[in-house]
Amino acid sequence: MDVSSPMTSMAAMRSYRRDSSVTARELPKGTVRRILGIAQPYRRELTFFLALVVGSSLIGVITPLLAGDIVNRIASLEGTTGGIVRIALLIAGLAVVDAAISLGTRWYSARIGEGVIYDLRSRVFGHVQRMPVAFFTRTQTGALVSRLNNDVIGAQQAFTSTLSGVVSNVIGLVLTAGVMLTLSWQITLLSLVLVPLFVLPARRIGRRLQDITRESYGLNASMNATMTERFNVAGALLVKLFGRPETETESFRARAARVRDIGVLSAMYGRFFFTALTLVAALATALVYGLGGWLAFTGSLSPGDVVALALLLSRLYGPLTALANVRVDVMSAMVSFDRVFEVLDLAPMIAEAPDAVRVPADDRSIEFDAVSFSYPAATDVSLPSLEEVSLPEHGGPVDVLHDVSFRVEPGHLVALVGHSGAGKSTIANLVPRLYDVTGGSVRVGGIDVRTATLESLRDAIGVVSQDAHLFHDSIRANLLYARPDATEQELWSALEGARIAALVRSLPEGLETVVGDRGYRMSGGEKQRLAIARVLLKAPGIVILDEATAHLDSESEVAVQHALDAALSGRTSLVIAHRLSTIRGADQILVIDNGRVAESGTHEQLLAAGGRYADLYRTQFADADRPPVEVA
Question: DSSP secondary structure string, 513-581?
Answer: -B--GGGTTS-HHHHHHHHHHHHHHH--SEEEEESTTTT--HHHHHHHHHHHHHHHTTSEEEEE-SSGG
Beta-sheet strand order (sheet of 439-444):
399-408, 366-374, 439-444, 447-448
Choose among 31, 39, 2, 230: nearest CA to 119: 39
pLDDT of residue 621: 66
In this structure, what is the dihedral angle of CA atoms 131, 520, 550, 435, given to the nearest 10 degrees?
0
Strand residues in 375-521 grouped as ranges (E): 399-408, 413-417, 439-444, 447-448, 461-465
Q: How many CA atoms lie within 13 A of 605 on its CB side?
A: 11
Please write the tens of the pLDDT for every residue from 526-572. Answer: 888 888 888 888 888 888 888 766 555 566 666 667 777 766 777 88
Q: How far apart are the C-alpha atoms of 85 and 82, rounded to whole Å?
A: 5
Please write the tens of the pLDDT for every residue from 41-71. Answer: 888 888 898 889 888 888 888 888 888 888 8
φ/ψ region of 237 (left if φ > 0, alpha if ψ in -120 to 50, else beta) reads alpha
Choose among 436, 368, 443, 444: nearest CA to 407: 368
pLDDT of residue 632: 33
Choose among 588, 549, 581, 584: nearest CA to 567: 549
Q: How far apart are the C-alpha atoms of 152 and 131, rounded to whole Å?
A: 19
In degrees, to the nearest 5, what angle opens at C-alpha 10 toward C-alphas 6 and 15? 150
Q: How far apart are the C-alpha atoms of 117 and 158, rounded to whole Å?
A: 11
Helix (H) or strand (E) holding 591: strand 588-593
pLDDT of residue 233: 65
The alpha-helical segments, DSSP class H, found in 184-316 are 185-193, 195-231, 233-242, 245-297, 303-313
pLDDT of residue 631: 36
What is the Cα gyration radius of the chain? 35
301 residue type, one letter? L
Q: What values do phi and psi take at 523, rounded to 5?
A: -75, 170
Q: Which range, 93-107, 306-320, 572-586, is most confident? A: 93-107
Q: At what angle do helices 6-17 and 326-344 cross, to 10 degrees?
A: 60
> What is residue 446's three-state secondary structure?
coil
Answer whether 286's CB lies under 8 Å from 236's CB.
no
Q: How far apart are the C-alpha atoms of 172 and 11, rounded to whole Å?
A: 15
User: What's 412-432+453-625's CATH class?
Assistant: alpha beta
Please write the tens of the pLDDT for every residue from 460-506. Answer: 888 888 777 888 889 898 888 888 888 999 899 888 888 888 888 99
Choose among 519, 529, 603, 530: nearest CA to 561: 529
Please write the tens of the pLDDT for every residue from 310-354. Answer: 888 777 777 777 776 676 667 777 777 877 888 888 888 888 888
Please write the tens of the pLDDT for every residue from 444-462. Answer: 999 999 999 988 988 888 8
Per residue, what are the HEC states of 378-405? Answer: HHHHCCHHHCCCCCCCCCCCCEEEEEEE
Q: What is the mean pLDDT of residues 156-162?
A: 73
Please write the tens of the pLDDT for every residue from 340-394. Answer: 888 888 888 888 888 999 988 888 899 999 999 988 877 777 676 666 544 444 4
pLDDT band at 80 (very low <50, low <70, confident <90, very high): low
Does 624 score more than 50 pLDDT? no
Q: What is the mean pLDDT of residues 182-186?
A: 84
6-344 homologous superfamily = ABC transporter type 1, transmembrane domain (1.20.1560.10)
The mean pLDDT value of the chain amounts to 79
Locate the domains of the chain by residue range: 6-344, 412-432+453-625
Answer whether 71's CB lies under 8 Å from 303's CB.
yes
Choose among 509, 504, 462: nearest CA to 483: 462
pLDDT band at 27 (very low <50, low <70, confident <90, very high): low
